[in-house]
Structure 1
Amino acid sequence: MSEKRPKARTPTAHYHSVDSAPRRFSRNVAWWRAPAVLLTFCLIAYGLLWTVNASSLSFLFQNHDLALSQYTGTHAIAVRVFILSFYISFSIFASAGWRGRLLFGVDLFLTYTAFCMILDFLNLILGWTMSVHLSWHFSAIVSGLVGFGLFAMKLLERGEMPARIKVESKGPAIARPFLRLVIALATATAMSVWIAQQSFAAVEWMRNLAFLGGIGPGVFLILPLFFAQLFLLANVQRFFTKRDPDTKAAVSVIIPAHNEEHIIGKTIRSIEVAAKHYGGRVDILVLDNNSTDATADIAARELATCKYATGHVVPVPTPGKSHALNTGLRSANSDLLLRVDADTQLGEDNLTRAVSYFSDPRVGLVGGMPLPPGGGPFDSARLLEVLVKHGFYSVALGAINGIVGIPGMFVMYRTNLPKELGGFVEGMNGEDTDISLRIGELGYRAIVDSRIRYVSEVPTSYEHMREQRTRWFRSVFHVSARCRDLIYGTRPSIRGRIMLPYMLINSARRTMLVPLILFGIIEYGSGLNPQSGLVWQAIAAVAIGAPAIMAVVACIVTGKPSAIAAIPNYLGFRVLRAYFTLESMLTISVRRKWKNFSAPTLNDVRESKPVRVA
Structure 2
Amino acid sequence: MTTADDKREQINYISVDSAPKRFAGPVSVWQAPRMLAVFTVLAAAQLWLINTDTVAQIFPNRDYVFSQHNGRHAIAIRIFLISFFAAFAAFSSGGARGRILFGLDMTLTFLAGCAVFDLANATAHHLIGSSLSLHFSAITSGLFGFAVYSFKLLERGFMPARIRIEHIPVSQLRAFVRLGVTIVIAAGVAIWVGGMDLYLVQLMRDWTLLGGIGPGVFLFLPVLFGQLYLLAIYDVLTANTPEFKPPVSVIVPAHNESYIIRDTINAMDRAAAHYGGDVHILIMNNNSTDDTEEIARETLAACRAAKGRVINVPKPGKSNALNAGLDACETEFLVRVDADTLVGEDNFTRAMPYFTDPSVGVVGGVPVPPGGALFDRARLLEVLVKHGFYSVAMGAVNGVVGIPGMFVVYRTHHPRYLGGFVEGMNGEDTDISLRIGELGFHSVVDPKLRYVSEVPSSYSHMREQRMRWFRSIYHISSRCRDLIYGGGKTLRGKVILPYMLINSARRAMLVPLIIFGSLEWGLGFNANSPIVWQSIVAVATGAPAIMAVVASLLNGVPKGIFALPEYLMFRVLRAYFTLESMLSILIDVRAEDLERVIRLDIVPDKPIRVA
Report TM bin, short chain: over 0.9
Task: Give a deviation string over 1:208-265, Cα, whole Å, max 9, x none.
Answer: 1111134899822222111100001111222332211x21100000000000000000
The residue type paired with residue 132 of structure 1 is S
The residue type paired with residue 104 of structure 2 is V
Partner of 2:429: 432
Partner of 2:61: 63
**DSSP-derived class of the 1:247 partner:** coil
Partner of 1:541: 538
TM-aligned CA distance change 1:263 to 1:5, over 3 Å = closer
2:321 matches 1:324: yes
TM-aligned CA distance change 1:174 to 1:136, over 3 Å = farther
* Structure 1 Cα separation of the partners of residues 390 and 57 of structure 2: 47
Percent of residue pairs bearing the same amino acid type: 55
Q: Quote how far apart the aligned CAs of 1:171 are.
A: 3.8
**DSSP-derived class of the 1:368 partner:** strand
TM-aligned CA distance change 1:484 to 1:384, over 3 Å = same
* Structure 2 Cα separation of the partners of residues 8 and 537 of structure 1: 41
Alignment of 1:33-432 (within 5 A): 33-214=31-212, 219-244=217-242, 246-432=243-429
Task: Give a deviation string over 1:497-525, Cα, whole Å, max 9, x none.
Answer: 11100100000000000001111100011
TM-aligned CA distance change 1:48 to 1:217, over 3 Å = farther
Counterpart selection for 1:575 from 557, 572, 575: 572
Partner of 2:6: 7
Partner of 2:608: none
* Structure 2 Cα separation of the partners of residues 482 and 151 of structure 1: 18
Q: Quote how far apart the aligned CAs of 1:187 are.
A: 2.1
The residue type paired with residue 442 of structure 2 is R
Task: Give a deviation string over 1:350-380, Cα, whole Å, max 9, x none.
Answer: 0000011111111111001111000000000
* Structure 1 Cα separation of the partners of residues 194 and 537 of structure 2: 19
* Structure 2 Cα separation of the partners of residues 173 and 156 of structure 1: 32
Q: Quote how far apart the aligned CAs of 1:123 are.
A: 1.6
* Structure 2 Cα separation of the partners of residues 606 and 213 of structure 1: 48
Partner of 1:446: 443
* Structure 2 Cα separation of the partners of residues 10 and 338 of structure 1: 28
2:489 matches 1:495: no
Contact kept in structure 2, 1:5 and 1:375, CA below 8 Å = no
Query: What are the ranges of 5 or more consecutive residues in structure 2 without an aligned counterpart?
Result: 606-611
The residue type paired with residue 30 of structure 2 is W
Contact kept in structure 1, 2:247 and 2:332, CA below 8 Å = yes
Counterpart selection for 2:502 from 497, 500, 505: 505
The residue type paired with residue 437 of structure 1 is L
Partner of 2:550: 553
**DSSP-derived class of the 1:522 partner:** helix
* Structure 2 Cα separation of the partners of residues 562 and 398 of structure 1: 26
Q: Quote how far apart the aligned CAs of 1:491 are.
A: 1.7
**DSSP-derived class of the 1:157 partner:** helix
Which range moves more in the overlay, 228-237 or 431-440? 228-237
Contact kept in structure 2, 1:126 and 1:133, CA below 8 Å = yes
* Structure 2 Cα separation of the partners of residues 179 and 86 of structure 1: 40
2:602 matches 1:607: yes
The residue type paired with residue 99 of structure 1 is R
Contact kept in structure 2, 1:166 and 1:483, CA below 8 Å = yes
Contact kept in structure 2, 1:171 and 1:444, CA below 8 Å = no
Q: Let me know the Cα RMSD of the aligned residues.
A: 1.5
**DSSP-derived class of the 1:219 partner:** helix
The residue type paired with residue 535 of structure 2 is A
TM-aligned CA distance change 1:469 to 1:369, over 3 Å = same
The residue type paired with residue 287 of structure 2 is N
The residue type paired with residue 180 of structure 1 is R
The residue type paired with residue 560 of structure 2 is A
* Structure 1 Cα separation of the partners of residues 62 and 515 of structure 2: 18
* Structure 1 Cα separation of the partners of residues 494 and 500 of structure 2: 11
**DSSP-derived class of the 1:255 partner:** strand
Task: Give a deviation string over 1:387-432, Cα, whole Å, max 9, x none.
Answer: 0011111100001111000000000001111111111000000000
The residue type paired with residue 222 of structure 2 is P
TM-aligned CA distance change 1:396 to 1:346, over 3 Å = same
Which range moves more in the overlay, 362-371 or 121-130? 121-130
* Structure 1 Cα separation of the partners of residues 3 and 562 of structure 2: 20
Q: Quote how far apart the aligned CAs of 1:9 are.
A: 4.7
Q: Quote how far apart the aligned CAs of 1:186 are.
A: 3.2
* Structure 1 Cα separation of the partners of residues 8 and 485 of structure 2: 47
Task: Give a deviation string over 1:429-459, Cα, whole Å, max 9, x none.
Answer: 0000000000011111100001111100100
Contact kept in structure 2, 1:163 and 1:482, CA below 8 Å = yes
**DSSP-derived class of the 1:221 partner:** helix
Contact kept in structure 2, 1:260 and 1:343, CA below 8 Å = yes
Q: Quote how far apart the aligned CAs of 1:205 are.
A: 0.8
What TM-score does the superposition give when structure 2 sets the normalisation length?
Answer: 0.97
Q: How many residues align?
A: 604
